[in-house]
Amino acid sequence: MDCLSSAAASNSYREVRELTERLVSPLEPEDCVVQSMPDASPTRWHLAHTTWFFETFLLARASASYRPVRPEFEYLFNSYYNHVGEQFPRSRRGLLSRPTMREVLAYRREVDARVSELLPHASEDQLRVLELGLHHEQQHQELILTDIKHVLSCNPLGPRYRGDMAHDVAAHEAHQSDSAAPQGDCWADGVAGLVEIGHADRGFCFDNELPVFRTYLQPHQLAQRLVTCGEYLEFVESGRYQRPDDWLSLGWAHAREHGWESPLYWRQTRQATAGWEQFTLDGWRPLDPAEPVSHVSYFEADAYARWRGARLPTEFEWEAFVAGRDCDQRDNLSEPRPGNFLESLSLQPLAPTRAQPGQWYGDVWEWTSSAYSPYPGYQPPAGALGEYNGKFMCNQYVLRGGSCATSNRHIRRTYRNFFPPDARWQFTGIRLAT
Amino acid sequence: MDCLSSAAASNSYREVRELTERLVSPLEPEDCVVQSMPDASPTRWHLAHTTWFFETFLLARASASYRPVRPEFEYLFNSYYNHVGEQFPRSRRGLLSRPTMREVLAYRREVDARVSELLPHASEDQLRVLELGLHHEQQHQELILTDIKHVLSCNPLGPRYRGDMAHDVAAHEAHQSDSAAPQGDCWADGVAGLVEIGHADRGFCFDNELPVFRTYLQPHQLAQRLVTCGEYLEFVESGRYQRPDDWLSLGWAHAREHGWESPLYWRQTRQATAGWEQFTLDGWRPLDPAEPVSHVSYFEADAYARWRGARLPTEFEWEAFVAGRDCDQRDNLSEPRPGNFLESLSLQPLAPTRAQPGQWYGDVWEWTSSAYSPYPGYQPPAGALGEYNGKFMCNQYVLRGGSCATSNRHIRRTYRNFFPPDARWQFTGIRLAT
Amino acid sequence: MDCLSSAAASNSYREVRELTERLVSPLEPEDCVVQSMPDASPTRWHLAHTTWFFETFLLARASASYRPVRPEFEYLFNSYYNHVGEQFPRSRRGLLSRPTMREVLAYRREVDARVSELLPHASEDQLRVLELGLHHEQQHQELILTDIKHVLSCNPLGPRYRGDMAHDVAAHEAHQSDSAAPQGDCWADGVAGLVEIGHADRGFCFDNELPVFRTYLQPHQLAQRLVTCGEYLEFVESGRYQRPDDWLSLGWAHAREHGWESPLYWRQTRQATAGWEQFTLDGWRPLDPAEPVSHVSYFEADAYARWRGARLPTEFEWEAFVAGRDCDQRDNLSEPRPGNFLESLSLQPLAPTRAQPGQWYGDVWEWTSSAYSPYPGYQPPAGALGEYNGKFMCNQYVLRGGSCATSNRHIRRTYRNFFPPDARWQFTGIRLAT
Amino acid sequence: MDCLSSAAASNSYREVRELTERLVSPLEPEDCVVQSMPDASPTRWHLAHTTWFFETFLLARASASYRPVRPEFEYLFNSYYNHVGEQFPRSRRGLLSRPTMREVLAYRREVDARVSELLPHASEDQLRVLELGLHHEQQHQELILTDIKHVLSCNPLGPRYRGDMAHDVAAHEAHQSDSAAPQGDCWADGVAGLVEIGHADRGFCFDNELPVFRTYLQPHQLAQRLVTCGEYLEFVESGRYQRPDDWLSLGWAHAREHGWESPLYWRQTRQATAGWEQFTLDGWRPLDPAEPVSHVSYFEADAYARWRGARLPTEFEWEAFVAGRDCDQRDNLSEPRPGNFLESLSLQPLAPTRAQPGQWYGDVWEWTSSAYSPYPGYQPPAGALGEYNGKFMCNQYVLRGGSCATSNRHIRRTYRNFFPPDARWQFTGIRLAT
């Protein structure tokens, strides 16, 4: 794998770090404290943890005499690296009112300064760690948005992520007029036979995308578009949340126990004219039937597919299909991929456009039927960074393609995101296969 | 019961409301969000709820056309008044990042202005509600301090409630030199025979202090001082947290389940010279053996007493004894009672002084062996305010005397505080009887 | 306190032990295994534990060289005596399929034989322990019935405790024709002023009935009859389980959390003619409005009383009233008290009769408003038997009078039963006071 | 798929049903009631449920006018077939003391009689359902043993499944003298390249073994023997249950939460000479280092493999390897497979023998790294029987090869057993791959 030049690294570092802080700028200090469920983390924690990552894996390793900015942060902001040491319990992150936002931003400043000093002399190994740290921070950019969305959704006041986010009407209408929701089923043949899977490029990838290997695909078809809110509403309104028929046993039990009646963030309006609305980062809005459905769990995606007489694609079917139409030279940090990504700041899946009718990238992560497991011959790196991906390969499912909260410089064809089958607070949607 | 004059009410209102805000002034906005356990509430919630109380029970009742400052606050800041309406679930108060501190303070401003407008024309009934609201706010002043103490204690950084709280050394030494911990057992005979219990004065009291009634006390003795940290440490160090012998069955089960090894906020220092320290609003400090023990549950107070061959007093024994030496004309808002109360801002129980060797008032609430139950003939007021006290008369124990976090204008001889037997986060201590 | 003669003890021992086994004779071995909730115990456990009690506190103490019948039973069948040693966890008693019923009965045989050998030479102390053991076994006779009732009620097959229990029609009609439900409110003045409480007789009593002491009662009235199912049904059908108004805060939370809609063992029939039925030891039967309501918690009893504008009596009001009309010389093992007790084998509260219109004894235990606490000067015995009563004096309420599952030789005027306020599986009912 | 002849079906039916009852014959009625955890079921439940299966899917479908033997059993003994109707909650099966063992055996008698009447005229479809029912009952034979083992293990008395099970010393020595534990690592190349997976024979298989499909295997090696207790003990004793290094994140959290320190059923003896013993169906016995390790979860199997620098095989690697050396014509009910199966009644994994050094079949189920998921093109049957396998394809892992509690007529090369990664109460062991 190639590594960044020192200059490119410096540039990227600045851009990624700045984007993170731009994302939190609309928030009040109070917003940045709350942990609304164990899976999610307070904004302040994300800001500090990503900084801790650079300090721990880059700065502290660069010199035996390194003096941490705030030694007590090692324990507080270590997420899950047992090789580094004990961790403050994840489910209690919301109990910490200190360090305050101001202190955390000062911590970022100081680490940024130290990284800037290091970069001109950085070794290739250090540049690789830096690049990993940037991809790590991009993952947390997405989590900052999905976690704060969950926090705000718990509040009966229905607060908006930012006051000025109200759709620029013109822009939205432009998008609408361009939109051309594909009609009908829209299937295309997938790639069958022996295919090669995994990251073969020279650019950055995570360890879980390696090694490249061959697998054999049976003939199949893939939908050329995402499932929309309108289509999913039929599933809801035909009572499929009240009957076990299409559900996995575990999914049905979970749905009953948690009182699921629709995707996360949907609710029926109380007006006489019964309709549905959904919570977005812009507050409560009427459900748009043309938008891709989002915030569904694997359980719901799987049940929906079965109800339609279809299934979810495997991650290999997805990757092989996209490989045939994908321009891989864009797969690096310097050339952003087009589509509805974090940078567009819509922060909401949008109806498909003529330019992106298939929405393979962006908008919503697509659940696959593939359990998250190691590729044949997979080897995690030695030491703490070996804990990044490998130890989570159990009871999770792979998602592909990125979402409206993913950076356009972060996603690629071989990228494997993963969540447990009951997770709903990410922008997760559905593509059918058969 | 007499009621305040309009002018006195106006004065008291301003003083009480200002004191509340002075108490939160050392806190960061982030501190005011956290709910560290279901029993406790975020600072912001206390600030808003006490204001909601005046708005709901005074302002909204004063005019049929009253327009609430923020209608959505009725649901958010109603604590437990079912007559008023549904309540946002108590255990989820920490999920609310909005309204922000700034909004809550603005809400206070607006309600204060409206109350000020009303007061000159207030009816006697309205003045009574106002006075109740002030006593209610004083109760929440205490909770603001005990709840934030719990929040800060959960943080491995051990933050202090206010930076400038470090003991003024001179003042502390002055207190020390004055201190004269009573030696030995220090018993005095309690009052025996028929006694009268309950609030007979013309000043304010809560409904649960009424009606006045007669009861019969057997001969008994009361300790003339509180149990100290040094004495309680003997209980800890002789292994009583590891043996069921002295404990109530429920208390032992609770202590085991929650891993209790000492009072709340105590820990052993890690230094070679093994000692103990305790968390205070001024951060971690060495345990002072002369201070009254605090932050013990009823379970611990009861076990300690049994271990000493004694018992806890009943609430009637306490009240009858204090009646014999109490100057009741101080029992009103305008004349503060001497002692270590909120206004001294020590915010920590202190060793007894020559002036207050018995520490009957202030420092720590004293657990009694009396289950919290209605006095014979007790009638709660009609309507929502009838929910203030009566519906909690089950599985709680009465505490007497006030603490270092209680306002000196709030406490009186007949005052009945109450908490479940496992509660430890209040300033709760022990007086022995036999 | 007098103690039994050796001959009387021998007689009583035989009678009590035989009655216990008669109670379990209608059960299948399978019935005797199940633990339907942590509070209840399998039948086999009761049979063995009561035997263990005699072995541990009588036989093993009689000789230093005592060899236990089955040494491993000490751990299995110790209920809560920490002085004796560790206990198999209460909530796991239903996991034990061994010792089988056959083995447990053999264990009883062997202990009975050893006790019989000991009795002729028993010291006064030993005779006192034996008598305690008999009262202990009588308590477990009641629990055997209430626990198996709960087990059978969990079974959709609705099994009956014994097949031949169908009411002897003639007997039942006889009872009915005799019945004369008191009309109207039926109040009588209670005893006011200074009264003496506690066991002053020479016969047996538990430690918690001592010492005798004086207390002062305010003027009050006591209902001269129990609340009936018909009256309680009005509470149910007027929607009081759907509104918090009359409930203690803790009671309402508990009722909501556990989905209470009526007393335990009540259900609405599914027939077109909507009616109610209740589960009895004779299976499901139509609700009889003339019977005393049973299987209500303290929470429900208290809410019902408040709804009727009344309250529950204190335990002292109950005892003082009954003392005025009670023939105390019957308070011993040899003269059974008349009334609907265990020995009548109705095993169900019955409508009042002319002979017992007030139903002060038998039928249902009557909740009092008195928290279970020690009498002034209470001292538990030294050692393990001191754990019998004292350590449970927290968060429980006193009940008086015995039930249809209590032995008529077991109950007396000063008897204090106690259960937590949410307990419903005993035969517990309501008498009003005001 | 071929179906059985009516005569063969009749024979098999009798044999399988009799074997089930032979398995429960050493048990007391009390043993057959207990449910020691939600995953396990009481023996009586298994006996009734397997009978219900024949009644529901064979008898009731054979005639529109079918009258169930006990209509109320439909609800009680339906495991999870939503198409059939509601089910009594799984976790409450241990609350049912009725129907008694005697009643359940009578139920079996009656259904057996009705099946015998039907069989001579059975259609091919009916014969297929019967065959499915027999395989279903064989699965429950295994569960009867593993569930009762768990029940007995909860009992401090350490009861044995049957008193006469003490190893026939001669037989055991014979086995021992024959044993020849393979030394060293013992690897062999697995099958690489394109392979065919799934059941292609004409005999019985479950739906989840279909359809046959091709997949591609990378080069790899498979251990030619199982991991032994002695080897696993090194993992235990080198402190791997105290360090997270080799564990999946989920596995480590689970192990900590449940206090795992070794495989299920292992404990250290209390004697001075510290050794280990394990609970078997023959009671507590010293750990035999030559036996295959059993009762490990997927989490432990996976951690152990990683610690050895190896991994678990995929289910396809296992199947492809075994296909090369397997005599498939034995894969039917009439020819039992050699090996340590249920029929040998050892009921314990044994050290390998010269005849079966690889122990691919029998002794212990072998965890594979394959998440349980549908084969490409998988279609569950229509209706209730479609719920048999398909709806469980989530968060489970595939196991291969059968155990000492599996019938030798039940297992085959393509057989896919599956359990969640934390399950330990089955006979589950480890084979390494690399």
Instruction: Find which of B88, B98, B100, B144 to mutate to test the A interface (most A CBs within 10 Å of its CB).
Output: B98
**Which of B 378-397 lie inside 8 A of C, CB atoms?**
391-395
Average of per-residue pLDDT values in chain C: 93
The predicted model gives C61-81 an average pLDDT of 96
Does A76 contact B157 at a Cβ distance shorter than 8 Å? yes
User: Chain B residues with CB inside 8 Å of C317's CB?
Assistant: none
Q: How confident is the model at residue B324 (pLDDT cuts 50, 70, 90)?
A: confident
Does B82 contact C220 at a Cβ distance shorter than 8 Å? no
Q: What is the DSSP letter of B57?
A: I
Instruction: Find which of B32, B91, B95, B160 to mutate to test the A interface (most A CBs within 10 Å of its CB).
Output: B95
**Hey, is D196 helix, strand or coil?**
strand
pTM: 0.95
The minimum CA-CA distance between D365 and chain A, rounded to whole Å, is: 20
Nearest residue of A to residue D80, measured between CA atoms? A249
Q: What is the mean pLDDT of each run of 10 residues along chain A (434 residues)?
A: 86 97 97 98 98 98 96 96 95 97 98 97 96 98 98 97 60 51 77 97 94 98 97 97 97 98 94 83 96 98 98 98 70 74 96 92 98 97 94 98 97 97 98 97
User: Chain D residues with CB inside 8 Å of A80's CB?
Assistant: 249
Residue % of chain B over a pLDDT of 70: 92
Does A250 contact D395 at a Cβ distance shorter than 8 Å? yes
The predicted model gives B91-116 an average pLDDT of 98
pLDDT digits (tens, 9 = 90+) for D64-89: 999 999 999 999 999 999 999 999 99
Q: How confident is the model at residue D404 (pLDDT cuts 50, 70, 90)?
A: very high
pLDDT computed for residue C335 by the predictor: 72
The minimum CA-CA distance between C35 and chain D, rounded to whole Å, is: 7
**10 Å Cβ neighbour count for C54?**
25
Write the residue in A30, A152, A154 that is nearest to B33 by C-beta: A30
pLDDT computed for residue B414 by the predictor: 97
pLDDT of B384 strictly over 50? yes
| Residues D414, D348 contacting (CB under 8 angstroms) | no
Say whether residue B218 is in contact with chain C using an 8 A CB cutoff: yes
**Hey, is C110 helix, strand or coil?**
helix
pLDDT computed for residue A173 by the predictor: 47
* Peptide bond before residue D244 is cis, with ω within 30 degrees of 0: no
Say whether residue B70 is in contact with chain A using an 8 A CB cutoff: no
Which chains neighbour C (Cβ–Cβ under 8 Å, 3 or more pairs)?
A: B, D
Asked which of C22-31, C320-329, C360-369 is least confident by mean pLDDT, the reply is C320-329
Say whether residue A120 is in contact with chain D using an 8 A CB cutoff: no
pLDDT digits (tens, 9 = 90+) for A349-394: 999 998 889 999 999 999 999 999 999 999 999 999 999 999 999 9
pLDDT digits (tens, 9 = 90+) for C12-69: 999 999 999 999 999 999 999 999 999 999 999 999 999 999 999 999 999 999 999 9
pLDDT computed for residue A177 by the predictor: 46
**Which candidate, C20, C163, C39, places its Cα nearest to that of C94?**
C39
pLDDT of D166 strictly over 50? no
pLDDT computed for residue D324 by the predictor: 84
Asked which of A406-420, B165-179, C316-330 is least confident by mean pLDDT, the reply is B165-179
pLDDT of B120 strictly over 50? yes
ipTM here = 0.94
Q: How far apart are CA D335 and CA D409, in angstroms?
A: 7
Does D394 contact A220 at a Cβ distance shorter than 8 Å? no
| Residues C24, C162 contacting (CB under 8 angstroms) | no
Q: How confident is the model at residue C330 (pLDDT cuts 50, 70, 90)?
A: low
Does A216 contact D218 at a Cβ distance shorter than 8 Å? no
Write the residue in A30, A92, A96 that is nearest to B101 by C-beta: A30
User: Chain B residues with CB inside 8 Å of C83's CB?
Assistant: 245
Domains of chain B with CATH codes = 6-153 (1.20.120), 166-229+260-429 (3.90.1580.10)
Give the containing element (helix H, strand E) for C7.
Answer: helix C6-24
Residue % of chain D over a pLDDT of 70: 92
User: Chain B residues with CB inside 8 Å of A152's CB?
Assistant: 97
Does A157 contact B72 at a Cβ distance shorter than 8 Å? yes
Q: How confident is the model at residue C4 (pLDDT cuts 50, 70, 90)?
A: confident
Question: Taking phi first (over 0 means left), then psi (-120 to 50 degrees means alpha), and beta for anything else, what does residue A359 get?
Answer: left
Does D28 contact C97 at a Cβ distance shorter than 8 Å? yes
Helix D124-153 crosses helix D6-24 at what angle (to 10 degrees)?
10
Q: What is the DSSP string of D386-400?
A: GGTTGGG-SS-EEEE
**Hey, is D75 helix, strand or coil?**
helix
pLDDT digits (tens, 9 = 90+) for C153-162: 999 999 999 8
Q: How far apart are CA A286 and CA B259, in angstroms?
A: 50
pLDDT computed for residue C348 by the predictor: 97
Q: How far apart are CA D326 and CA D5, in angstroms?
A: 26
User: Chain A residues with CB inside 8 Å of B159's CB?
Assistant: 97-98
pLDDT digits (tens, 9 = 90+) for C88-136: 999 999 999 999 999 999 999 999 999 999 999 999 999 999 999 999 9
Query: Pairing state of beta strands A428-429 and A365-371?
Result: parallel
pLDDT computed for residue B109 by the predictor: 98
User: Chain D residues with CB inside 8 Å of C159's CB?
Assistant: 97-98
pLDDT of D431 strictly over 50? yes
Which chains neighbour D (Cβ–Cβ under 8 Å, 3 or more pairs)?
A: A, C
pLDDT of C2 strictly over 80? no
pLDDT computed for residue D200 by the predictor: 95
pLDDT digits (tens, 9 = 90+) for B250-292: 999 999 999 999 999 999 987 656 699 999 999 999 999 999 9
Say whether residue A66 is in contact with chain D using an 8 A CB cutoff: no
The minimum CA-CA distance between A264 and chain B, rounded to whole Å, is: 17
Say whether residue C96 is in contact with chain D using an 8 A CB cutoff: yes
pLDDT of D384 strictly over 80? yes
**Which of B 25-54 lie inside 8 A of A, CB atoms?**
28-34, 36, 44
pLDDT digits (tens, 9 = 90+) for A394-427: 999 999 999 999 999 999 999 999 999 999 999 9
pLDDT computed for residue C167 by the predictor: 47
User: Chain A residues with CB inside 8 Å of B144's CB?
Assistant: none
Average of per-residue pLDDT values in chain B: 93
pLDDT computed for residue A329 by the predictor: 45
Say whether residue A376 is in contact with chain D using an 8 A CB cutoff: yes
Say whether residue D425 is in contact with chain A using an 8 A CB cutoff: no
D90 or B164: which carries more pLDDT confidence? Answer: D90
pLDDT computed for residue B169 by the predictor: 43
